[in-house]
Amino acid sequence: MQIGFIGAGNMSTAIIKGLIDSRFTSPEQVTLTKSTAERSKAQADQLGVAFSSNNTELVQQADIIILGVKPQKLPDVLNEIASEIKDSKKIVVSIAAGFNITKIQSFLGDEAKIVRVMPNMNIAIRRSVSGLSFSDNFSVEEKQLVSELFEQLGVTYELAEKDFVTFTAIAGCSPAFTAMYIDGLTRAAVKNGLPYELAQAITLEAVSGTLELMKDKTLSSWDLINQVSSPGGTTIEGVASLENDGFIPSLFHAVDATIKKDQEMSKE
Ligand SMILES: NC(=O)c1ccc[n+]([C@@H]2O[C@H](COP(=O)([O-])OP(=O)(O)OC[C@H]3O[C@@H](n4cnc5c(N)ncnc54)[C@H](OP(=O)(O)O)[C@@H]3O)[C@@H](O)[C@H]2O)c1
């Protein structure tokens, strides 16, 4: 099985490294392209994989094509490869935000086998949570193959496409939202006298330990909040302050804004 990557930036590079590290794929099974042949060669040499001088040639040689270009570049790429995809059994994986299956099929034909995948940046350490949504012409075996591929890179969830935007908001965007939370705690500690590096190291340990505890003990958020909020104590003062300042409504707004933007991009 040959896997072709159109676009080899942050995401595709992390996927390629993860697939090779997990031995799901050998370097000989991977081909990539970037915006120019020179850049493709340089990146391929660095990763120890093959490159194609153009996207059409790459598609001809691949069984699975992973589209790793930015959403703005996707229409041009889809137009470029459409004739190679039509009437073929090739599987096209899109990781682009704002492009639903119908929109991709409008370029590649209604019969094209499209799987939309939303990984997150944690894929770089094979800890992604990836949402998968398939067009309705996939066989069980084909679905299994794509699922197994992304399981090498973390956890996967198959979703109805209507739920994809919500998944994107809480999983695709989660690294950024979480980093903002960590940054807020870190800089609040700096304001109170701790050096930045020390404050960030402490915050990271506290946050990752909390996540482990919640998973290990299968605690809900409110189970944990109740456990650490002693009556009349310090934690409940902070919790009440966050409530007063609209911490939870801000997260609702952020998720809603992300969903709205994704829906707008799908309509363009
Ligand atoms: N980053 C995230 O956290 C994240 C999460 C989920 C999904 N995604 C999605 O993943 C996709 C890629 O994001 P990214 O962060 O990896 O972007 P990126 O680092 O900017 O990589 C984009 C790649 O596309 C290449 N490219 C541009 N035009 C091309 C063309 N005509 N033919 C072939 N390759 C071309 C670029 O090559 P050059 O370097 O030569 O310009 C670059 O290698 C996006 O659709 C994004 O929405 C990203």
Model pLDDT for residues 39-94, shown as the tens digit of each residue: 999 999 999 999 999 999 999 999 999 999 999 999 999 999 999 998 899 999 99
Whether 3 has a pLDDT exceeding 90, the answer reads yes
Structure letter (DSSP) for residue 161 = G
> Among 146, 63, 77, 69, which residue's Cα sits nearest to residue 108?
77
Residue 267 predicted with pLDDT over 90: no
User: Are 144 and 199 members of one domain?
Assistant: no
DSSP string across 72-141: GGHHHHHHHHHHHHTTS--EEEE--TT--HHHHHHHH-TT-EEEEEE--GGGGGT-EEEEEEE-TT--HH
State the helix-helix crossing angle for 10-21 and 37-47, rounded to 10 degrees: 30
Indicate whether residue 7 lines ligand 1 (CB < 6 A): yes
Q: How confident is the model at residue 268 (pLDDT cuts 50, 70, 90)?
A: confident
Spatial CA neighbour of 69 closest among 119, 8, 122: 8
Whether 59 and 182 share a structural domain: no
Nearest CA to ligand 1 atom 47: 96
Task: Cite the annotated binding site for NADP(+) by residue number.
Answer: 6-11
Q: Which helix (H) or strand (E) holds 67?
A: strand 64-67
Q: Average per-residue pLDDT in the chain?
A: 96
For 231-252, what is the mean pLDDT?
98
Is residue 34 domain-resident? yes
| Atom from ligand 1 closest to the CA of residue 13 | 16
At which of 110, 133, 164 does a domain end? 164
Mutate to test the pocket of ligand 1, among 39, 70, 117 (most ligand atoms within 8 A of CB): 70
Instruction: Provide the CATH number for the domain around residue 200.
Output: 1.10.3730.10
pLDDT score for 214: 98
Is the C-beta atom of 8 inside 6 A of ligand 1?
A: yes
> Are residues 105 and 223 located together in one domain of the fold?
no
Q: Is residue 182 part of a domain?
A: yes
More confident: 262 or 3: 3
Claim to verify: residue 119 and residue 18 sit in the same structural domain:
yes
Mean pLDDT across 168-179: 94
How far apart are the C-alpha atoms of 151 and 143, rounded to whole Å? 12
- Inside any domain, residue 230: yes
What integer pLDDT is reported at residue 179 of this predicted model? 97
260 falls within a domain: yes
Residues for the chain: how many in total?
Answer: 268
Please check whether residues 209 and 153 belong to one and the same domain.
Answer: no
Distance CA 16, CA 31 (A): 10
Ligand 1 pocket residue status of 52, Cβ below 6 Å: no
Does residue 119 have its Cβ closer than 6 Å to ligand 1? Answer: yes
Nearest to 175 by CA among 242, 116, 129, 222: 129
Residues 41 and 79 in one domain: yes
pLDDT band at residue 263 under the 50/70/90 scheme? confident
* Rounded distance from Cα 200 to ligand 1 centre (Å): 29
| 33 and 136, same domain (yes or no) | yes
AA letter at 95: I
Structure confidence at residue 266 (pLDDT): 77
Q: Residue 98: is its pLDDT beyond 90?
A: no
Of 164, 199, 214, the one marking the end of a domain is 164
By the 10 Å C-beta count (0-12 exposed, 13-18 middle, 19+ buried), 81 is classed as buried
Number of domains in the chain: 2
Domain containing residue 153: CATH number: 3.40.50.720
Evaluate if residue 161 carries a pLDDT over 80: yes
pLDDT tens for each residue of 104-140: 999 999 999 999 999 999 999 999 999 999 999 999 9
Dist CA 14 CA 119 (whole Å): 11
Residue 136 shares a structural domain with residue 15: yes
Q: Is 4 helix (H, G, I), strand (E, B) or coil?
A: strand
Structural domain for 240, as ranges: 174-267
In a domain, 87, yes or no: yes
Q: Per the domain annotation, does 169 fall within a domain?
A: no
Q: Same domain for 216 and 143? A: no
End of a domain among 110, 129, 164? Answer: 164
Q: What is the mean pLDDT of residues 217-231?
A: 97
Q: Is there a domain that residue 47 lies in?
A: yes
Q: Are residues 142 and 181 in the same domain?
A: no
Residue 151 in domain: yes
Non-local (6+) Cβ contacts of 55 within 8 A are 6, 33, 77, 80, 81
With CA atoms as reference, report the closest residue to 93 among 131, 57, 46, 45.
Answer: 131
What is the DSSP pairing of strand 50-51 with strand 30-33? parallel
Q: Which atom of ligand 1 is nearest to 12's Cα?
A: 16
123 and 67 together in one domain: yes
If asked whether residues 228 and 157 sit together in one domain, one would say: no
